[in-house]
Amino acid sequence: MALDDTKKTREFKVVGTRPDRPDGIDKVTGRARFGADMVAPGMLTGRILRSPHAHARIVKIDASKAEALSGVKAVVTRADFGEVPEDVADVLDNCMAGDKALYDGHAVAAVAASSPAVARKALKLIEVEYEVLPHVTDVDATIKPDAPVLHEGRQQETVPEGMSQNVIARSEFGHGDIEAGLKQADRVVERTYRTAATHQGYIEPHACLATMGSDGRADLWVCTQGHYMVRNTCAAILGMEQGQLRVTASEIGGGFGGKTVVFLEPVALMLAKKAGRPVKMVMSRSEVLRATGPTSSTSIDVKIGMTKDGKITAGFAELRYQGGAYPGSPVDMGAMSGFAPYDLENVKTVGWDVVTNRPKAAAYRAPGAPMAAFAIESAIDEAAKGFGLDPLEVRLMNGADEGTRASYGPTYPAIGLKATLEAAKSHPHWSAPLGENQGRGVACGFWFNFGGDTCVSLNITPDGTVTVSEGNPDIGGSRASMTMMAAEELGIPYDQVRTIIADTGSLGQNEVTDGSRVTFAVGLATIKAAEAAKKEMCRRAAMVWGIDEEAVEWEDGAARPAGPNAGKFPPMTLKEIAAIASNTGGPIAGHHEVNAEGAGVSFATHMVDVELDRDTGSTKILRYTVFQDAGKAVHPSYVEGQFQGGAVQGIGWALNEEYIYGEDGILQNAGFLDYRIPVASDLPMIDTVILEIPNPGHPYGVRGVGETSIVPPLAAIANAVSEAAGVRMTQLPMSPPRVLAALQAKAEG
Amino acid sequence: MSQLHVTTRINGDDTEFLCEAEDTLLDVLRDRLGLTGTKEGCGTGDCGACSVAVDGRLVCSCLMLGAEAEGRDIATIEGMATGDQLHPLQQKFIEMAALQCGICTPGILVAAQSLLERNPDPSEEEVRYWLAGNLCRCTGYDKIIRAVMETAADMRRAS
């Protein structure tokens, strides 16, 4: 063929390999500095006093005895904070209660003291007078007209009149005619599903170290998913200019969405301001569980119509998510994502955002999506099995593809759902035999993936090595990915590039590390910054050679004359150009700032085998395989790691994890002994299959991979347990007592 | 409130420190000796992030008092490498992507080393049960288990 007009598939040299992570040695030797690992001269210990009540009016706080204690340098209550802008009012109220304590563990006062022992003692000396109010923690109970009301006047116009004030907002998505679709169905599955609140469960508790001078300039060292967010939020709450607050992100010991908001930081700054000394604050595990971001507990009604050959004629879901004590549960994302894997003529979802006396929900890996997928993928499974149909075939038949109008509005470009289903169908796992009391489940999952504000600065050093500065905390290996993309684009070895996470004084605004955005958006900006540097290096070479810069191209780490008319010059390498940079115009750098669009959506299919112990009701995961589209896997080992980690968090959510509140509204399991996340002995290996359907919105085809992996497991495991038990499981977690009760109910008929 | 004077050995070095009676060994390591490689994930002995070896025995340093270190021989993550030579477990964890955020990594490495000292040829099940007291929320344990078993195999071949 003389001419090939199809776009040549790019051959990568660095991307797709598995180099060692740049933060590896620090992390295996204990040198890596996390939130609690920093110290400052003259540093004080900050501690928070928390409400012992689920709902109470704060009548009076008397801190005089605490203030009189030797070693106490500052006490802070809400009275120390002034009026704040509306968009951070709830954030402040969550960090430090105002008129009311809204949940067990809500912060009501804080101290800074010369030692942890003094701080603990001081907390006991703070006298808080509470007027205890009735409370509500259940998602269905809070909607009832007679439920205790958390906030007056927060209800939005979308909510019909006459509903409890705890119902904050109603949203609706979809297209077509549900009733008409249901009429075409041969079977309608209609069920209500419930999921418990779970916690992100990062092993590193929240921690920060704040310093503020009398000139109003402040520094903050903090473990967070977004130090720019921390800067902007704290500056707004403290009435500071953003430029006066410099925030440095520590290494982050897990976040999963839970570190996308502030809890301690504004309080630490206020304590530091009042005390005139640096203040370090570190949460205990019980504080983490009582007062930081769990996800919503939910109650979801689903109605699915299916013909006997497996066509879904209508899909409807009504979702109720309690987001804790403040508006803003992730119900919209649940309502948008639940049916997103399918090409449906008639689809509708209604979401209800409701508040309860629980800690404010924070994002948790694909926030809102796993619960919706649990409900909808369970109903699809039940409908398919009711006709004796293969659940993978039914999903393939109804699966979304390029050109499908998504249930939440947009029309998909190239997507990977069917590739994951085909891979699942042909995998040996699908045809492996099952034993007695065993069941196999499958489910699909979707996540949007985000882009957002991003800055990258790429600098060429005089000796020709490269530093990349980016503004997103590295939560899953992104420094390695950025290094790889910079090396790829510049045509130099991986070890010639070092990527750092810059503080807020060094770059422009950067969106939080969330939405699986970093490898996509920061990667995009890194590639563009490298392109800018290459262009400048070509210009320098052209200058040296005395030819037009358009006559120079960059290939394999060197500037080269492009084409026969450019003149014959030997290639000039990056190192050679860097060495003479001072004489050709000065230092060389590339940078890129963008609100990144074009984050490709992501799909996965999960397959799981379980075995039930009929005497105890306990479930063992026997085999697990993840099939997910990564677009392009920059570092395949780290992509596998994201798949495996998400799947196992989903296993915990499905089988064990649960916020348990007593009748008194107090959290009963605020520790890792009773809030039990999966341990190594609970699990098999988690097999992974990476599919690569390139994202048209990224130069290398990259899609975010971090979140989708937690979307299918809840439903996949429920489908497997239901098959093994012979009973449809509709409530999470499927803990041993709950499974046992279901088995007994079935036996009693 | 007078402080206690404790003489101990940490990572092979004779060490003295003063501590409050209520200070845990973890508090002492992190806040008095600057050995912050040992992490606090829970403070209640449930997560294993603070794992250290005391006289060769694996313990949660959050469950032991600093004063109890008197006369003991304590090994923390900071003593695992020899100079710039990583321990084979450390090297393998990097190579096999057995860490993501890294907060549980010191505790898991200390625990894994303790296993391999006792059992140079553990089965997958033995590794999983030995490490059941070390929580990791990022990896799903798959690559951790593989890295420990690979290291064990390498060390057996080398010995």
Q: Could you list the mean pLDDT of each consecutive 10-residue stretch along chain A, which spans 749 residues?
A: 49 97 98 98 98 98 98 98 97 98 98 97 98 98 96 95 95 98 98 98 98 96 98 98 98 98 98 98 98 97 98 98 98 98 98 98 98 98 97 98 97 97 98 98 97 98 98 95 98 98 98 95 98 98 95 97 87 98 98 96 98 97 98 98 98 98 98 97 98 96 97 98 97 97 92
pLDDT at residue A250 in the model? 98
SS3 of residue A361 by DSSP: coil
| Chain-chain contact of A29 with B80 (C-beta, under 8 angstroms) | yes
In Å, how far from its chain's centre is CA A692? 22
pLDDT (0 to 100) of residue A1: 35
Q: In this structure, what token pair is assigned to residue A721?
A: 């347990």
Q: Which residue in chain B has the smallest CA separation from A254?
A: B101
Cross-chain residue pair A253–B135, CB shorter than 8 Å: no
Helix boundaries (H) for chain B: 25-27, 88-95, 105-118, 124-130, 142-158
CB-nearest to A672 from B36, B131, B135 is: B135
Residue with tokens 């919105």: A697
Spatial contact of A346 and A339, defined as CB atoms under 8 Å apart: no
Residue A10: the pLDDT is: 83
- Contact status, residue A490 vs residue A560, Cβ threshold 8 Å: no
- Could you give the CA distance from residue B103 to residue B49 in angstroms, rounded to a whole number? 7
Calculate mean pLDDT across residues B79-87.
Answer: 97
The pLDDT of residue A8: 53
Q: Which residues of chain A are within 8 Å of residue B29 when distances are taken between CB atoms?
A: none
Window B:34-63, CB contacts with A under 8 Å: 35-44, 46-47, 49
Name which of A20, A26, A27 to mutate to probe chain B: the one with the most chain B Cβ atoms within 10 A of its Cβ. Answer: A27
pTM, two decimals, is: 0.97
Cα separations (Å) of A422 from A255, A279, A395, A418, A627? 33, 55, 10, 6, 10
CB contact under 8 A, A21 and B97: yes
Which chain B residues contact residue A671 at CB under 8 A? 42, 44, 46
Whether A681 sits inside 8 A of B140 (CB atoms) is no
Residue A411 is classified by DSSP as B
Would the CB atoms of A24 and B47 count as touching at under 8 Å?
no
* Chain B CB contacts of A476 below 8 Å: 100-101, 138
For chain A, say whether B4 makes contact (Cβ under 8 Å): no
Q: Give the residue among B98, B62, B53, B129 at the shortest CA–CA distance from A671.
A: B62
Name the β-bridge partners of A623. Answer: A609
Q: How far is CA A180 from the centre of its chain?
A: 37
By C-alpha distance, the chain A residue nearest B103 is A253
Q: Is the dihedral of CA A10, A12, A16, A21 positive or negative?
A: negative
Q: Which residues of chain A lie closer than 8 angstroms to B142, CB-CB?
A: 644, 683, 685-686
Instruction: Work out the end-to-end distance of chain A between its first and last CA atoms, rounded to an integer number of angstroms.
Output: 70
Contact residues, B window 107-146, toward A, CB-based 8 Å cutoff: 109, 125, 127-129, 131-146
Mean pLDDT value of segment B113-120: 98
What is d(CA A575, CA A552) in angstroms, rounded to the nearest whole number?
17
CB contact (8 A) between residue B100 and residue A641: yes
SS3 A636: helix
Q: What single-letter DSSP state applies at residue B62?
A: G
Token couple for A379: 């109903």
Cis-peptide into A330, omega within 30 deg: no
Instruction: Dump strand ranges (E) for A250-308.
Output: 279-282, 297-306
Whole-complex ipTM: 0.99
CA-CA-CA-CA dihedral for A85, A90, A94, A99, to nearest 10: 90
* Sheet with B13-19: strands ordered across: B13-19, B4-10, B73-75, B51-54, B57-60
Which chain B residue's Cα is nearest to A256? Answer: B138
A680/B95 CB distance under 8 A: no
Neighbours of B5 (CB within 10 A): 11
Q: What is the pLDDT of residue A334?
A: 98
Determine, for residues B90 and A34 on separate chains, whether the beta-carbon distance falls below 8 Å: no
- The answer to whether B46 touches B30, Cβ cutoff 8 Å, is no
Question: What are the C-alpha distances in Å from A148 to residues A2, A145, A156, A566?
Answer: 76, 9, 18, 79
Whether residues A25 and B104 touch (CB distance < 8 A) is answered with: no
Burial label for A646, CB within 10 Å (0-12, 13-18, 19+), is buried
CB A180 within 8 A of CB A241: no
pLDDT at A6: 42
What 8-state DSSP symbol labels residue A626?
Answer: E
For residue B106, give how far its alpha carbon lies from the nearest alpha carbon of chain A (Å).
Answer: 6
Q: B140 and A117 in contact by Cβ < 8 A?
A: no
Nearest to B44 among A25, A37, A673 (CB): A673
For the packed helices A369-386 and A391-398, what is the interaxial angle rounded to 10 degrees? 110
Residue matched to tokens 């009149």: A161
Distance, CA of A538 to CA of A550 (rounded, Å): 8
Q: What pLDDT, in 10s, does the model give residues B27-80?
A: 999 999 999 999 999 999 999 999 999 999 999 999 999 999 999 999 999 999
Interior angle at CA A85, CA A283 and CA A229, nearest 5: 50
d(CA A623, CA A507): 45
Contact A379, A314 (CB under 8 A): no
Q: Which residues in chain A are contacts of B27 at CB distance < 8 A?
A: 116
Which two tokens mark B32? 């008095």
Q: Which of A17, A21, A25, A29 has the most B C-beta neighbours within 10 Å, making it the best mutation to test the interface with B? A: A29
Q: Tokens 């903050």 — which residue?
A: A220
Go through chain B and tell me how many residues it has: 159
Nearest to B44 among A27, A254, A671 (CB): A671
**Model pLDDT, residue A4:** 42
Residue A111's DSSP bridge partners are A47, A75
Check CB contact under 8 Å for B97 and A18.
Answer: yes
Q: CB–CB of A254 and B81 under 8 A?
A: no
What residue has token string 């798959």? B142
Residue B25 to chain A, least CA–CA distance (Å): 15
Minimal Cα distance from A115: which residue of B?
B31
Closest Cα to residue A732, out of A138, A374, A196, A199? A196
Structure tokens at A364: 């948790």
Enumerate residues 6+ apart whose C-beta is below 8 A from A31. Answer: A25, B37
d(CA B55, nearest CA chain A) in Å: 20
| Integer angstrom CA distances of residue A461 from A20, A139, A481 | 23, 57, 20
pLDDT tens per residue across span A692-711: 999 999 999 999 999 999 99
Q: Do B138 and A638 touch (CB under 8 A)?
A: no
Q: How many CA atoms lie within 13 A of B78 on its CB side?
A: 17
* Residue of A28, A251, A648 with shortest CB distance to B140: A648
Supply the DSSP symbol for B139. S
Name the residue in chain B with its Cα closest to that of A478: B100
> Which of B137, B146, B148 would best serve as a mutation to test chain A binding (most A beta carbons within 10 A)?
B137
How many beta carbons lie within 10 A of that of residue B76, not counting itself? 23
Nearest CB neighbour to A252, from listed B49, B101, B133: B101
Site from B76, B80, B128, B142 to mutate, A interface, most A CB atoms within 10 angstroms: B142
Q: Which of A29, A117, A203 sits opposite B103 (nearest CB)?
A: A203
Q: What is the pLDDT of residue A518?
A: 96
**CB spacing of B97 vs A644 below 8 angstroms:** no
Cβ pair A130, A55 in contact under 8 A: no
Name which of A30, A31, A679 is nearest B135 (Cβ-Cβ).
A679
CA A283 to chain B, closest CA, distance in angstroms equals 10
Q: In chain B, whose CA is at the least distance from the CA of A27?
A: B102
Are B103 and A34 within 8 A, CB to CB?
yes
Contact A30 B36 (CB under 8 A): yes
Compute the distance between CA of residue A417 and CA of residue A429 in angstroms, rounded to an integer.
18
- Tell me how far the alpha carbon of residue A378 is from its chain's centroid: 23
A680 vs B77, B95, B141: nearest CB: B141
Between CA A630 and CA A703 the distance in angstroms is: 5
Q: What is the pLDDT of residue A7?
A: 46
Query: Does B78 lie at the interface with A, CB-CB under 8 angstroms?
Result: yes
Q: Do A31 and B37 touch (CB under 8 A)?
A: yes
DSSP secondary structure letter of residue A677: -
Beta bridge pairs of residue A251 = A34
Q: Is A388 exposed, middle or buried (0-12, 13-18, 19+ CB in 10 A)?
A: exposed
Residue A28 Cα, gap to closest chain B Cα (Å): 6
